[in-house]
Amino acid sequence: MSVLIVSGTGTDVGKTVATAALAACAEGRVAVVKPAQTGVAPGAEADLAEVTRLSGVTDVHEYARYPDPLSPHHAAQVSGLPELEFADTVRRINDLDALYDTVLVEGAGGLLVPFTSSDRWTLADLASSLRAPVLVVTAAGLGTLNHTALTVGRLAEDGIELAGIVLGSWPAEPDLATRCNVADLAAMATDGRLAGALPARMSTMRDFATRARAALSPRFGGTFDAKAFAAAAAW
């Protein structure tokens, strides 16, 4: 199975940049899927365009788009557009899995945000059906511990593999709370180590692929040294 689900602990934690970094570091044929895009008008550039701009990966797939910046189930209701059908989404991703070495699936919001109002399926349901591991992208600063623990705990309850925890935006000058959080977040990972830390404003950096390799662990094609990072961040 070559599918990797990219979930966040919430909105605006860096999922799209993390997905682009994973795509930039992956070997072989790579496809990126955004099952539902919200808050973007028809024809406008959205998250997948950003992934392509940053990583160079052009095999990108969006299954539904809703113009209102809401959770997918509410966005579909408000727009009057069809909801994203669960079985069809699973089938389409499985079809891609047969053709590509790596299929990255970026969620919308957090792990348990509903995609539909009818059956209220979530990214956790998708991961379970695909038997795919989930990479959790989280914030680094104050407030992240509870959000991350709840997300990781739910994955464990559902029997879904935690692929790792990545800091979606590591500041150039982290404050005390941010530095204190590193050890706690690492402890939530299966192996007790963070799987990466993306520098803040990474999407504006010209050498994105180089930055991506330095920011992700060897499991994801990078060179990130979790022990050295934790030691440097310790207060």
Mean pLDDT by runs of 10 across the 235 residues of the chain is: 92 96 97 97 94 98 97 96 97 98 96 96 98 98 97 98 98 97 97 97 95 98 97 91
Residue numbers annotated as active site: 34
What phi and psi, each to the nearest 5 degrees, are found at residue 160?
A: -100, 135
Distance between CA atoms of 5 and 95, rounded to whole angstroms?
16
**Domains of the chain and any CATH numbers:** 3-233 (3.40.50.300)
Measured in residues, the chain has a length of 235
For 45-87, write each residue's pLDDT tens digit.
Answer: 999 999 999 999 999 999 999 999 999 999 999 999 999 999 9
Q: Which two tokens stand for residue 132?
A: 């795919």
Residue 90 in contact with residue 61, Cβ under 8 Å? no
67, amino acid identity: P
Residue 86 in contact with residue 121, Cβ under 8 Å? yes
- DSSP per position, 112-160: T--S-SSS---HHHHHHHHT--EEEEE--STTHHHHHHHHHHHHHHTT-
Looking at residue 165, its pLDDT comes to: 98
pTM over 0.75: yes
For 129-141, write each residue's pLDDT tens digit.
Answer: 999 999 999 999 9
- Percent of the chain scoring above 90 in pLDDT: 97
Q: Rg for the chain (alpha carbons), in Å?
A: 17
